[in-house]
């Protein structure tokens, strides 16, 4: 099986030019009903391939992913590492990210490291690869979150798009939106100790969308060129049946109902408008 995998990776690498290529890497757990939309969305934004690391899911995630795997658009890995605290989960994610970096550093120019509740796009609908041409002199780009809530929807109808139903977000100046996720040149990465950013090789330039230097895990909010809609709660069923279980494992006292109220303040259907 190892020989077959290496052969397939070699053949598939011939089909892509490294120049101006864009991959996405993610790790997921029990998010099957959202994966098809998320993968499809990012392929539509110009992403060439998605590396996906499954962490101990017991739902039917293969139903959502098998067509993309067969088409060579998704490369799936089993990453069943145990974790009991948020610090341990951070290490599990970082290890997956570095595994991906090692696999792709000679394959692609750029890779975005985002979660499956995060939708990366240009607000005017321009291909992400065309946007990244503006950053040819840089090695990492931080993209701010725009945090969305549940819109107080119990459950998104089966077969429907989440982005068509969840249209309420937090104000732009909310603290959470200062967090960013990274698009990096894999060949310039030296390490990962935090899921939001990477340690880069000496001389590397890390900036936000305004080409202002950034470091650490947050920056001033700017989402005119690149934006991540972060559907942190998804719908109420997911919030209480899945998200709450995870959060209670890590943060014993947080009330997610209060968090959801903070994220349902401003009506902003930007992704429905772009797609239409």
Q: What is the CATH number of the domain that holds 120?
A: 3.90.550
Q: What is the mean pLDDT of residues 39-62?
A: 96
Helix axes 32-44, 61-70, angle to 10 degrees: 30
What pLDDT was estimated at residue 51?
98
pLDDT over threshold 90, residue 59: yes
pTM above 0.85, yes or no: yes
**In the chain, what is the straight-line distance between the N-terminal and C-terminal CA atoms, in Å?**
43
pLDDT tops 50 at residue 40: yes
Q: Is pLDDT above 90 for 215?
A: no
Number of domains in the chain: 1
Other beta carbons within 10 Å of 180: 26
Looking at residue 189, its pLDDT comes to 96
Structural domain boundaries, residue 77: 2-275
CA–CA dist 144, 181 (Å, integer) = 7
User: Which carries the bigger pLDDT value, residue 114 or residue 16?
Assistant: 114
List all residues 6 or more positions away from 216 whose beta carbon is below 8 Å from its beta carbon. 197
Res 11: pLDDT = 47
Contact status, residue 96 vs residue 66, Cβ threshold 8 Å: no
pLDDT over threshold 70, residue 112? yes
Contacts of 72 (CB under 8 A, 6+ apart): 12, 15, 49
pLDDT surpassing 60 at residue 124: yes
Mean pLDDT of the chain: 90
> Per-residue pLDDT for 218 more than 60?
yes
User: Closest Cα to residue 164, out of 144, 180, 148?
Assistant: 148
Position 66 pLDDT exceeds 80: yes
Q: pLDDT tens digit string along 161-204?
A: 999 999 999 999 999 999 999 999 999 999 998 889 899 999 99
pLDDT band (50, 70, 90) for residue 17: low
Mean pLDDT of 144-149: 97
> 253 versus 141: which is more confidently predicted?
141
Percentage with pLDDT > 90 across the chain:
76
């Amino acid at each position: 099986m190892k020989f077959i995998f290496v052969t397939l990776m070699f053949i598939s690498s011939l089909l892509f030019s490294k120049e101006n290529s864009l991959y996405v890497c993610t790790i997921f757990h029990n998010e099957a009903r959202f994966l098809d939309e998320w993968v499809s969305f990012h392929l539509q934004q110009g992403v060439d391939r998605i590396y996906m690391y499954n962490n101990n899911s017991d739902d039917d995630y293969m139903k959502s992913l098998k067509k993309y795997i067969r088409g060579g658009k998704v490369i799936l890995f089993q990453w069943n590492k145990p974790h009991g605290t948020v610090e341990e989960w951070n290490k599990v994610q970082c290890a997956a990210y570095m595994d991906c970096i090692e696999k792709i550093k000679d394959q692609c120019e750029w890779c975005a490291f985002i979660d499956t509740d995060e939708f990366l796009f240009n607000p005017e609908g321009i291909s992400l690869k065309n946007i990244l041409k503006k950053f040819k002199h840089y090695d990492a780009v931080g993209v701010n979150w725009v945090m969305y809530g549940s819109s107080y929807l119990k459950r998104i109808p089966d077969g429907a798009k989440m982005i068509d139903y969840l249209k309420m977000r937090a104000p732009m100046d909310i603290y959470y939106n200062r967090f960013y996720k990274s698009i990096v040149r894999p060949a310039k990465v030296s390490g990962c100790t935090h899921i939001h950013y990477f340690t880069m090789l000496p001389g590397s330039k890390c900036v936000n969308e305004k080409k202002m230097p950034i470091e650490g895990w947050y920056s001033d909010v700017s989402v005119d060129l690149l934006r991540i809609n972060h559907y942190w709660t998804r719908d109420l069923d997911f919030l209480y049946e899945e998200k709450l279980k995870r959060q209670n494992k890590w943060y014993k006292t947080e009330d997610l109902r209060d968090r959801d109220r903070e994220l349902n303040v401003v009506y902003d259907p930007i992704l429905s408008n772009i797609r239409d």
